[in-house]
Amino acid sequence: MDDEEVELSHEQKKEIAKWFLLNAPSGEIQFVAKDVMKLLNDDELYREAASEAFPQYNKSHMICLEMPGRVGDVVITAFNELEENEFLDPRTAQVAIVDNIKQVCTAVRPALDEELPSSYVEEYRCTIDAEIARYVGDTYPKGVCSVYCVNGKDAEGAESDFELAVVVSASRLSPKNFCNGSWRSTWNIEFKSDFQTLEVRGEIQVCAHYFEEGNVQLDTKHECNDSTIMQAPEDCSVAIANIIRHHEAEYFSALEVSYSNLPDTTFKDLRRKLPVSRTLFPWHNTSQFSLTRDVVKELGIGK
């Protein structure tokens, strides 16, 4: 007797839909959403899944949206989220109101004083932001970056501790050529007054998707740590930019080496070491094999 089909619950369907949306490759969630909507065939269920998945996807992929009035761009991250659908752009001191599902910025408002860091913290944030922007502009053709105060935004003077977060996001989307990819990195910088040091914790994530007559994806993460001494804002910004530049260049080089060796390492490991017969095929002398001769012999033809 055939197994009876089990009807999934509303919640199970929603979770499966969310999984597909959240695991969409960079720049492809809208394409995946169209297919998910057709599969669900339930507008209310789709809206529930999308309303939960899109905000999380946008933040994890650190998408960049243009603000109305061409006042600038805002990067969507967990670091600058104020309220649901509201994201601070510290560079322009504006708050962007975002439609996460449509992935557009619908309005902006001036940031409130309590939403911005103190003048002491802002001096560091601003100089680091300018230095990182120069680095990103030189390194990533379509890269964006931003710097946020994530702890101690009311700090005043050298006796205070605070923490900044640097985000770098670059993507190259070419769906017509069956290729999309992104480079994303976050760098948490702790300013510790007691030790006069800066502790730097970084995470780099690289994603790529090639889907011409196939489906090949790369999704890799790398974590790193570093430190430097606490100095004046201008000197700190140069030191931090150099740390980020060093670690990102080092990881990029490691990826290049790794994937240039794929044919001789990983791909070979995917192949069977020996055929089922446990005998290596004699590639050096293939002429000894004749399909016709073998068939004649097996069937006893001509005897």
- Region 53-82: mean pLDDT is 95
Q: Does residue 260 have a pLDDT over 90?
A: no
Q: Does residue 50 have a pLDDT over 80?
A: yes
> What are the Cα distances from residue 249, in Å, to 139, 244, 255, 296?
10, 8, 10, 63
CB distance 39 to 108 below 8 Å? no
- The predicted structure's pLDDT at residue 49: 97
Higher pLDDT among residues 3 and 236, named by residue: 236
Lowest mean pLDDT among 129-143, 189-203, 276-290: 276-290
Which residue is listed with tokens 């309303």?
51
CA angle 235, 239, 245 (to 5 degrees): 145
Its CATH architecture, for the domain 10-60, is: 2-Layer Sandwich (3.30)
Q: Does residue 279 have a pLDDT over 70?
A: no
Residue 52, token pair as written in the block: 């939960």
Nearest-angstrom CA–CA distance, 75 and 96? 10
pLDDT (tens digit, 9 = 90+) per residue, 162-206? Answer: 999 999 999 999 888 889 999 999 999 999 988 889 999 999 999
CB distance 89 to 68 below 8 Å? no
Has domain 117-263 been given CATH number 3.90.1150.210? Answer: yes
Say yes or no: do domains 10-60 and 62-116 share a fold. yes
The CATH code that applies to domain 62-116 is 3.30.1140.60
- The predicted structure's pLDDT at residue 257: 85
pTM of the model: 0.83
Domain ranges of the chain: 10-60, 62-116, 117-263
Lowest mean pLDDT among 95-109, 241-255, 262-276: 262-276
Amino acid letter, residue 204: I
Q: How confident is the model at residue 1 (pLDDT cuts 50, 70, 90)?
A: very low
